[in-house]
Structures are given as C-alpha cells and as structure tokens.
Amino acid sequence: MHVPLPGEEARKLAVPFDAYNFSPAEIMTIEAAQDLLIRDCMRGQGVEWKLLPLPAEADIEPQNRRRYGVIEPQIARLFGYHAPLDRPSVARYNAERNDRLTELSPAARRAAYGDPARDADGCSDKAQAHLLKDAQEINESLFNTLVRQTFEESLRDGEVVRVFRAWSACMKNNGFHYPDPLAAITDDRWTNNQQPSRREITAAETDVWCKKKGDLASIWAATEKRIQQDTILAHAEYFRTLKTNKERQLKAVRWVLSRG
C-alpha cells in the first residue's frame, strides 16, 4: 500500500511544550549519535556494530500528528482511526534495527547492553551517559505530569467544550454518536480490529470533515497554547532547565555526528 507523506495539517500542529521535548525526528538523530558512540566503544572490545542509515526526515511522524485524533483526510481515507503505516524509509530503519538486535551474538549483546549479573554497563549505557554528561539534574516525571494535566484542563475549557458539541452534532447528523473526538478514536469497534472496516473509514472521514467545519483543531490548539504558556510561566525555572538540557544534549549529538 502506498503510504502518503504526513499531511500539512499534522506538520503544522504545534504547542509550546514542543520546545522542551524531543520530536520523533530529534529522537532518531540522537539514536544516530548513540550508534556512532556504540560503534567506537564496541570496536575497542573487538566487536563490530552496524550503523543504521537515518530515514528521510519528511517520512518521520510529526510530533503532534494524532494529538486531536485523525485530522488528515488522506490518512482517514486509507487507515480510518488506525495509526498509519510507516513510510518506506522509516519502515526500513525499524526493520534493520530489529534485525541488528536479533543477530547479535551473546558476546556482542553483553558488550552493547552490559551484563546485569556483573552490574556492568554496556556501550549503549556509556553512549547515553556521554550525550547527557552536561545535563542538569531534574525531575523528568514532572514534565509528563504537566503534559497530562494541561491536556485534561484543555478538555474542560469552555471554548473547547463548545467546539466538541458542534463536532458531536455534526457527527450525529451523519450517523455517528460520540461526545468528543477522543471517544471516536478509542471506539472498541475500531481498536479491536487489526484492519479498518468500511464503517470505520467512513466514520474517520466524517470526523475529519466535522473537525474542519468547526475549526476544531485550531481552536483546541489555541486553548492548549494558552494553558501551556501559563504553566511554563508558573514553573519558569523548571522549564528553563528542561530547555537547557535539551540544547546541551543536541549540541553533544551534533558534535558526535560531525566527527562521524
């Protein structure tokens, strides 16, 4: 099946917390730097480590693609509410990473991932530690808590509740009964099936159309922006540290990649 590139709707969707978190593309770049460090470490032990070519950046999942459910008409048409298949270069990357793991000899596995019986770190642990060596100590779980809390707060916002009602009425007029988009995408009729049914695809296409009709994604995103900005101001020092740590880690990644 041809998998279309991520749509403009998904690529443009952004919230303030994005600046303090790693996008899927950034995570893959970090993994590329870790790969180089692991390779050098493994060579020092007389073991080879296969480097993986990064996927095309355009193929990589946008950070907020399914934040508000399905918002891309093409994706709804092909996959309904199911997550879209990976683009070819991403699929190859994931397959080669899995193959590398399964093909490791016991000795290579110990070199790469350590020996818990001896409490010995592997090259993977050392690579990660190297990229994080300049990071400040911080309660990382707080960020996930704030992500959840601000998202839940957005669901209670009056403007978001209003566009949910308009979306729900639009869906009802087309034969689908859901109070909000989250209820639609988590419907057991879809999640319990491996492949989307014709009914699921129709529901997803209607969902996307009703969102566009009521400008739901833009209004919801604007609400989240306000809530998240207020949260950043309320935890200013914490978010400054998050931003500093992200910048330092990416700087270390760029240095590793530049020397190859």
Mean pLDDT of 47-72: 94
Within a domain: residue 14?
A: no
pLDDT tens digits for range 243-259: 999 999 999 999 999 98
pLDDT tens digits for range 28-41: 999 999 999 999 99
Look at residue 116 and tell me whether its pLDDT is greater than 90.
no
Within a domain: residue 10?
A: no
Within a domain: residue 223?
A: yes
Within a domain: residue 92?
A: yes
Within a domain: residue 128?
A: yes
Q: Which residue has the tokens 């308009």?
A: 166
Domain count for the chain: 1
Within a domain: residue 118?
A: yes
Domain ranges, residue 220: 20-259
What is the reported pTM?
0.91
Within a domain: residue 146?
A: yes
Within a domain: residue 181?
A: yes
- Whether residue 171 contacts residue 164, with contact meaning beta carbons closer than 8 Å, is answered with no
